[in-house]
């Protein structure tokens, strides 16, 4: 079942919940963690594209001509926030192979927890595209808010945000800064701790995905 409230969709499908539980386990291998993130990325992509506009087109089956639905030319950009956002990318591109990709390089200053930009590259026609911004952990939301600030500065108008885990504090900050951007997440956890980690969470998503612990 998928719950929707105040611009936040929790994709609590049994497959997503099961895979997320496996990812939370502290001894899960890097390989398995990466694979599961990729799989959940695919399932979240399915949900974030659920309301894409459709149009009818005439095709010819082996039996007859027939009017059938196709997606109505909505061009998409997938925008992973480096580096953990990359973990969702392959799964999403499996489902939407024609999507363009924007890269947004932001790191979290460990002292201030503020987002610092070090790279930004996006398609020039971003204003005409739906942009799906992705980062597994919506913790303080500093990176997510900064990424969406940057994308809006470049003209993006139709934005969505996808994460794996969100903290209530992050959702509040994100929705306060960008109330026009809907969020899709696999779960909303209890809280942030004093170091800005989501609890119970799964630790540092980037480190766990790339084996840099």
Q: How far is the CB of 24 from ligand URA (least distance, A)?
A: 11
40-48, 85-93, 119-127, 198-206 -> range binding ligand URA (CB under 6 A): 198-206
Q: What does the block give as tokens for 49?
A: 């594209």
Residue 123 has phi, psi (to 5 degrees) of -60, 145
Q: Is 112 one of the catalytic residues?
A: yes
Q: How far is the CB of 133 from ligand URA (least distance, A)?
A: 15
Q: Is 205 annotated as a binding residue?
A: yes
43-51, 93-101, 125-133, 191-199 -> range binding ligand URA (CB under 6 A): 191-199
201 binds ligand URA per the rule CB under 6 A: yes
Query: 56 - beta bridge partners?
Result: 69
Looking at beta carbons only, is 75 or 103 nearer to ligand URA?
103
Q: Is 213 one of the catalytic residues?
A: no
Pairwise CA distance, residues 105 & 118, whole Å: 5
Looking at beta carbons only, is 85 or 123 nearer to ligand URA?
85
Q: What does the block give as tokens for 43?
A: 């399932």
For residues 188 and 10, the answer to whether their CB atoms sit within 8 Å is yes
Which residues 6+ apart lie within 8 Å of 194 measured at CB? none
The site that binds ligand URA (CB under 6 A) totals a number of residues, namely 10
Pairwise CA distance, residues 132 & 144, whole Å: 12
**Alpha-carbon distances of 173 from 52, 145, 166, rounded to whole Å:** 27, 8, 11
Give how far the C-alpha of residue 77 lies from the chain's centroid of Cα atoms, to the nearest Å: 12
Q: Is 182 one of the catalytic residues?
A: no
Strands 158-166 and 182-188: parallel
139 binds ligand URA per the rule CB under 6 A: yes
Mask for 48-87, x = binds ligand URA (CB under 6 A):
------------------------------------x---
Cite the annotated binding site for uracil by residue number. 198, 203-205
Binding site for ligand URA (CB under 6 A): 84, 137, 139, 196-198, 201, 204-206
Q: Which residues are catalytic?
A: 108, 112, 204, 207
């Amino acid at each position: 079942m998928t719950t929707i409230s105040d611009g936040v969709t929790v994709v609590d499908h049994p497959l997503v919940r099961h895979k997320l539980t496996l990812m939370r386990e502290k001894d899960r291998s890097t390989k398995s963690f990466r694979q599961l993130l990729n799989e959940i990325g695919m399932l979240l992509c399915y949900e974030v594209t659920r309301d894409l506009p459709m149009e009818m087109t005439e095709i010819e089956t082996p039996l007859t001509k027939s009017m059938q639905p196709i997606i109505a030319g909505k061009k998409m950009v997938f925008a992973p926030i480096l580096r953990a956002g990359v973990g969702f990318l392959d799964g999403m591109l499996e489902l939407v192979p024609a999507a363009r990709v924007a890269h947004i390089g932001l790191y979290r200053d460990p002292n201030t927890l503020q987002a610092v930009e070090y790279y930004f590259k996006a398609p020039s026609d971003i204003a005409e595209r739906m942009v799906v911004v992705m980062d597994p952990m919506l913790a303080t939301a500093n990176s997510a808010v900064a990424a969406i600030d940057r994308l809006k500065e470049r003209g993006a108008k139709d934005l969505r945000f996808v994460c794996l885990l969100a903290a209530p504090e992050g959702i509040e900050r994100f929705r306060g800064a960008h109330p026009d951007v809907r969020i899709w997440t696999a779960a909303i956890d209890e809280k942030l701790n004093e170091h800005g980690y989501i609890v119970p969470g799964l630790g540092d998503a980037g480190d766990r995905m790339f084996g840099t612990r």
